């Protein structure tokens, strides 16, 4: 079913909206959640929470790109669940490594003096991503948005793992330089 028809089902408050969304985007959202949580049960709960969040936000929202909208919701829920799980000392999950990699480039918001306005940071990140060559941008987004492993990215992009690591290192360094130049670090 087309995304616009699925969104119309939400606006009509039809139960079919969830069924159609799940049929079309269930695998996509589960992959996002699993790449962050590394646990099938928790991932499935995140996806169910995504459907509830979509139900509660459409309407009034009318997303332009339904997949991106659902992916963002899933990612937010999964990261929140990951933080809750790690705060309770329930074990280290795959996202640990990704957060550590970015820690040097982006402040984590725990220091109030270093907290930046979200809108300004979003604009800088958009500009940064736009400046990257296509392959580097894909690698960066797959790692830091979808939390894919180095091995998964290398396979998806059809390059060596060492090239993925080098691309990520260079991208993080460029991001750090940009953030310093903008006075955000």
Contact 129, 141 (CB under 8 A): yes
115: left (phi over 0), alpha (psi -120 to 50) or beta: beta
**CATH architecture of the domain with range 95-181:** Orthogonal Bundle (1.10)
- Ranges for all domains in the chain classified under CATH 1.10.1740.10: 3-87
Q: What is the mean pLDDT of each run of 10 residues along the chain (185 residues)?
A: 94 95 95 89 94 93 91 90 70 55 53 50 84 94 88 94 96 90 74
**CATH architecture of the domain with range 3-87:** Orthogonal Bundle (1.10)
pTM of the full structure? 0.63
CA angle 160–163–166, rounded 5-degree value: 155
């Amino acid at each position: 079913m087309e995304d616009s028809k699925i969104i119309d089902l939400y606006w009509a408050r039809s139960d079919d909206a969830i069924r159609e969304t799940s049929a079309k985007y269930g695998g996509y959202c589960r992959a996002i959640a699993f790449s962050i949580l590394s646990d099938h049960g928790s991932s499935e709960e995140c996806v169910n929470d995504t459907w509830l969040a979509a139900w509660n936000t459409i309407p009034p929202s009318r997303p332009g790109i339904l997949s991106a909208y659902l992916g963002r919701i899933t990612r937010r829920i999964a990261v929140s669940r990951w933080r809750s799980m790690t705060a309770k000392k329930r074990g280290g999950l795959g996202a640990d490594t990704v957060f550590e990699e970015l820690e040097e480039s982006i402040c984590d918001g725990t220091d109030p003096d270093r907290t930046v306005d979200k809108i300004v940071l979003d604009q800088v990140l958009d500009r940064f991503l736009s400046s990257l060559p296509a392959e580097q941008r894909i690698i960066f987004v797959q790692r830091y948005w979808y939390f894919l492993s180095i091995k998964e990215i290398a396979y998806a992009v059809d390059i060596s793992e060492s090239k993925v690591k080098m691309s990520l290192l260079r991208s993080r360094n460029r991001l750090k330089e940009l953030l310093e130049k903008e006075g955000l670090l």
